[in-house]
Amino acid sequence: MAAGRGQFFQSFLKGLERKPGKPAPDRRQPGPGRGKLATEGCLTAGKRSETRRKAVLAPRLRRTKSRLPFEILTKILSYLDAPSLFCVSHVSKLFYQLANDEVIWHKIYLSEFGKNQMWLSKLVDDTAHRVKQVETENQRSFGQWKKMYFKTLAGQEVNKWRRQLRDISPYTGLPTQTEWVLRNLNVSWELMVCDRFGRKVTLEQTRVYYFETSVIVCWSNSSLPRHHHTTRIQLHGVRKGTLGNPRANWPNWHSLMLKSDLSTHPFYLIGKDRLIKLVFLSPGFIIGISRGRDTLAFIMVCLHFHRLVEKSLLGSPVCPYSEPIDRPLADHSDPEYGLHGYTLHFVLHNTGTQIMSGYFPQLSCRAVQIRNGLVELKVINRTNVCQHRTLSGNIKMPWKTEELKGSVENCCVMSLTLLDEFQTPFWCVSAPVSTTVAKKCLSFDYSGKHFLIEYRDEDGHVKMMLVWLEEERQFFLISFTIYLSVNKVNKHFSTNY
């Protein structure tokens, strides 16, 4: 009798330990009619019973979750940090309400910022007043402390790196620490390429080339679509968390910087070699197309340092950063106001080397010299040989992918920074340019081939004349003129030329 009770309790304990839904082992020996087909039938029946069990338990679990009091669910969510709480709020309507609880976000706010705030006592008093008001009205308010938390967090981050950008170079008129801030904040740039079939490819940067006033970012990937299938290209600035940073697990913020629709934005051929042809797509994309296959070998973009940190961080995923309007006061006592005191910092470079760099102060134009709606600023005069400059290298654009590399001749990048008389950036450009053979001799002071470099946009026009000296194997810049749009000058200085 005792042995029978012991076997019974042992089998009972094994049954309790067995996982729900797992069929009990069949100890009977297979006999006639209990072979493979019978075993498969038992397994199928077990699966059907498991499916029915889940279908019955799912609504019960949902009802159990909904039956839990708000206080218990709120207590559970109070152990989460800010990024986890933000993610939980997207699960359902219930969790959205719970994850926006004022008490939770109030505690998170005080734990993050309260100790460093001089006005903490006033904040606590205001909080107590708000809590009492909510209790008297018997209503739940959502998102107030959450919004204040993210606003304060963003404000602290922005103020921190803006202090680091206060040191302005007297030559470029730009912050001297732009590259350092971008690297320190772990800012990168992502490219999204869409094709006509609705597919989207998101690419992380492959290489970055920093220069004095600009940066060139390159993407090369085998998953890029064919050129004639590509419909849209978008550039986003992304700040990623770093290891050891308490906010390393935060979701990356994307700031839209540039976008181009290939159906509406025209592209221009700027050069080619035996492997690729290079085209420029406004407003700043350089696309390398494999010759003979019509596939995208790589995509590059030229970014000027002017407000580059703000553009990379402060825009939204669907809207670019909007620059603040800071116009100087109108000066009606000066008849030439807005036409003098310009300073130019100019760089010609490619992905590897700097070809030319120049600083040109005190550029001006007389009101009587304005023609065809353009303000002419003579940087280098063709007739003044003393102003002519030599270029330190050949004009070419090296490129490379994971498998190939090459160099496109007669093509480079122009980074132009024009400052007004208050030494603030007035016109900033970083874009590819190419040389073309002049149809006629531009100067009789030099014997050699003459070339032109031109750039145009809605704000102005750049025209450079060069001569190639075969004996010295180098270029000479013999003429350099900038034409500003009168509309841009009138809008900036509140004039009426």
In a domain? residue 350: yes
For helices 102-113 and 144-164, give the axis angle rounded to 10 degrees.
20
pLDDT above 50 for 171: yes
- Looking at the structure, do residues 297 and 190 belong to the same domain, yes or no? yes
Question: Does residue 420 sit in the same domain as residue 364?
Answer: yes
Residue 247: pLDDT over 80: no
Q: Mean of the pLDDT values across residues 108-136?
A: 55
Residue 279 pLDDT > 80, yes or no?
Answer: yes
Q: Residue range 256-283: average pLDDT?
A: 88
Residues 194 and 151 in one domain: no
146 with 185, same domain: the answer is: no
> 137-162: per-residue pLDDT in tens?
434 455 678 878 777 776 777 888 88
Q: For the ranges 106-120, 163-177, 196-210, which has the lowest average pLDDT?
A: 106-120
In a domain, residue 219? The reply is yes
Claim to verify: residue 212 and residue 302 sit in the same structural domain = yes
Of 110 and 407, the one with more pLDDT: 407
Domain count for the chain: 3
Query: What pLDDT is recorded for position 261?
Result: 87
| Together in a domain, 185 and 300 | yes
- My answer on whether 127 and 207 are in the same domain is no
Q: Does 14 fall in a domain?
A: no
Q: Tell me whether residue 36 is in a domain.
A: no
pLDDT confidence bin for 166, thresholds 50/70/90: very high
The DSSP result for 423-450, as a single string, is SSEEEEEEEEEEEEE-SS-S-TT--SEE
Q: Are residues 470 and 370 in the same domain?
A: yes
Q: Are residues 285 and 357 in the same domain?
A: no
Domain assignment of residue 108, given as a range: 70-162
Say whether both 231 and 155 belong to one domain.
Answer: no
In a domain, 20, yes or no: no
Identify whether the C-beta of residue 264 lies closer than 8 Å to the C-beta of residue 258.
no
What CATH number is associated with residue 158?
A: 1.20.1280
157 and 189 in a single domain? The answer is no
Q: Which of 162, 188, 203 is the last residue of a domain?
A: 162
Decide if 318 is inside a domain.
no
Kindly give the pairing relationship between strand 267-272 and strand 411-419: unpaired
Distance CA 216, CA 340 (A): 32
